[in-house]
Amino acid sequence: MAMNVSEYLLARLKSLGVDHVFGIPGDFILPFFQTIQNTDIEHIAACNELNAGYAADGYARLKGLGVAAVTYGPGAFSIVNAVAGAFAESVPLLVISGGPDTEAYAKQPVLHHTLPDKYDASVKIFSQITCHAAVLKDPARATAQIDEALRICLSRNKPVYLEIPSDVQTYACEEPVSFQSAPAPCDEASLAGAVNDILQRVLKGTRTVIIPGHEVHREGLQDKVLELLDRTGLPAASMFIGKADFLEQHPQCLGAYQGAGSLAEVIDYVEGADTVLFLGVVLSDFNLGGFTAKLSDPQVVNALDQRVRSSTGCYSGVPLTNLIEGLLEALPVGQADTGAPQHFFSHRTRQPYTPVADAAMTNKRFYDRIAHFIRPGDVVAADAGCAINATHLQLPEGVTYLASCYWASIGMGFGAAFGACFAIEPGQRVIALEGDGSFQMSAQELSSMARYDCPAIVFVVNNKGYTAERLIHDGPFNDIADWRYHQLPAALGGIGLDVHTEGDLEKALAQAESHCGPGPLLIEVHVDPWDASEAFTLMSETLRSH
């Protein structure tokens, strides 16, 4: 026997491109953490398990697989919300939980971190928020179960959960052989039916619009979608969930579409189409502007979760990769519609910006300016209200955008920004756009960024509370502690700057342009508590009506 189970798992992860494991140690998983020290994989300590999950999620969105390691009971239950978000938004995430030894599972003594007579509680809970959850009680089968879990995780782009008893973590085993991936199976008859359905719509109609979503990112299909646009000449739009960072500078990009929260030109063009082809888009209330989108069933074709649905057919077993490749072969070559709107975003890179030095900062002016600050290659993570505003922020080519807009758990964006710091290439910047309320959820990771010398640029928009909730139903429950955010780096690490005016912002951005550490640069941007964009206000009004 050449190694133990922990070494096997880490070797397998390394072969799949994982260089970092996020997590918090605890006695039941200490053998695994000890093993990490003797490998090429680095343990990255977050301040708590929830934030470790967020960081692993952000890492996975860039690298294709993220890993978080926690201890049994409190550690596992603390990471639940992050895993649920990864499941909702199709992120390949492995959660490793150390457990008591195998004899304890059999006899169930009353140990710390356990629930009386419910040693299976955690695996039952995780079975609801992952596509695979298992306890590796049989050491002889542990390596096979590890490979099975990873195949499921990568083929379905969903989280998986492995609970490994402490004695199994050090059980001797053979070295791993080459990993055999298992792509999602495709029903060829269903694929042919779906492609023909879409082809007939394109041929018979006068206007088809393509809207890609989060599954395009998870499957790595950005270039294929661009190829489809170039070949067919069809226009496309970007959405809130799965914002299409890769096409917002493309000449056939209409702009941002979010139901009635869109600019009028985009609304008229999209909702006037014969067919709107959603590729990997979740048709949720947030994506459709609080269900204000005026799209009839005959207009919509939605390819999501290996199913293609339209008013003329439903086709199962059709992975998005196969569908797009089929469309590339079947759809005719076409010319772009010269009458289509182009790049209708509220905050555009080509829109001139001239600061007024003594003017108070507003949300609109902040995002107008940030459109010029973000540069190709940046990784931009947005949280909560900032993500709503960033929907209408046109991104430069080559930018990667991270946000949890479907699960919409505030605080995830900053955790994801921390994780992204370990997944970027040399020369890339990580930029976090945070509201004050969302930042307070996971602000501890500012110290983690300082600890690992992550030179992230963090904008905290201070509007003194939960503005989204104020617009839905105002009350004192929407108030939060008024931190002096720009002073936090003095205690936690990094550099802090305070912005009240457009002139202040220019000075801060000048410093940000050359920032390379040590640690993060935090820029606190003060705006009025009731200052919200039109799209932000519309979404809140819609939610209030429900």
Q: What is the pLDDT of residue 535?
A: 66
37 near 175, Cβ under 8 Å? no
Write down how long the chain is.
546
User: What does DSSP say about strands 521-526 and 495-499: parallel, antiparallel, or unpaired?
Assistant: parallel
d(C-alpha 286, C-alpha 265), whole Å: 20
Cα dist from 101 to 39, 72, 119, 446, 468, whole Å: 24, 11, 11, 36, 47
d(C-alpha 442, C-alpha 82), whole Å: 12
DSSP string, 133-175: EEE---GGGHHHHHHHHHHHHHHHT--EEEEEETTGGG-EEPP
């590796």: which residue's tokens? 136
What percent of the residues of the chain are helix, what percent strand, and what percent coil, each to the nearest 5? 40, 20, 40
- In the chain, the largest separation of any two C-alpha atoms, in whole Å, equals 72
For the chain, how many helices (H) and strands (E)? Answer: 22, 21
190 near 124, Cβ under 8 Å? no
Would you state the CATH architecture of domain 363-545? Answer: 3-Layer(aba) Sandwich (3.40)
| φ, ψ at 420 (rounded to 5°) | -60, -30
pLDDT digits 0-9 by tens, 264-289: 999 999 999 999 999 999 999 989 98
Task: Tell me the pLDDT of the chain averaged across its residues.
Answer: 95
Q: Does domain 3-173 have CATH number 2.60.40.10?
A: no
- CA 504, chain centre distance (Å): 31
Q: Specify burial of residue 295 (Cβ count, 10 A radius: 0-12, 13-18, 19+).
A: middle
212 near 247, Cβ under 8 Å? yes
Closest CA to 524 of 491, 477, 487: 487
235 near 337, Cβ under 8 Å? yes
Task: Determine the residue type at 228.
Answer: L
- Whether the domain at 3-173 and the domain at 363-545 fall into the same CATH topology: yes
242 near 212, Cβ under 8 Å? yes
d(C-alpha 263, C-alpha 241), whole Å: 17
Task: Report the CATH fold assignment for 188-330.
Answer: Rossmann fold (3.40.50)
Closest CA to 266 of 310, 216, 198, 209: 209
Q: What is the pLDDT of residue 202?
A: 97
Domain residue ranges in the chain: 3-173, 188-330, 363-545
Q: What is the pLDDT of residue 316?
A: 98
| Residue spans of beta strands (DSSP E) within 332-455 | 379-382, 400-402, 430-435
pLDDT digits 0-9 by tens, 35-91: 999 999 999 999 999 999 999 999 999 999 999 999 999 999 999 999 999 999 999
pTM: 0.95
Task: Determine the residue type at 333.
Answer: V
d(C-alpha 541, C-alpha 546), whole Å: 9
d(C-alpha 226, C-alpha 224), whole Å: 5
DSSP 347: B
H or E stretch covering 61: helix 49-63
Q: What is the pLDDT of residue 357?
A: 97
| φ, ψ at 501 (rounded to 5°) | -125, 170
User: What does DSSP say about strands 521-526 and 236-238: parallel, antiparallel, or unpaired?
Assistant: unpaired
**Structure tokens, 259:** 């139901």
Blockwise average pLDDT, block size 10, the chain, 546 residues:
94 98 97 96 98 98 98 97 98 98 94 92 97 97 98 96 98 94 93 98 97 98 98 97 97 95 95 98 92 95 97 97 98 95 94 96 96 97 92 96 96 98 97 96 98 98 78 76 96 97 98 96 94 69 61
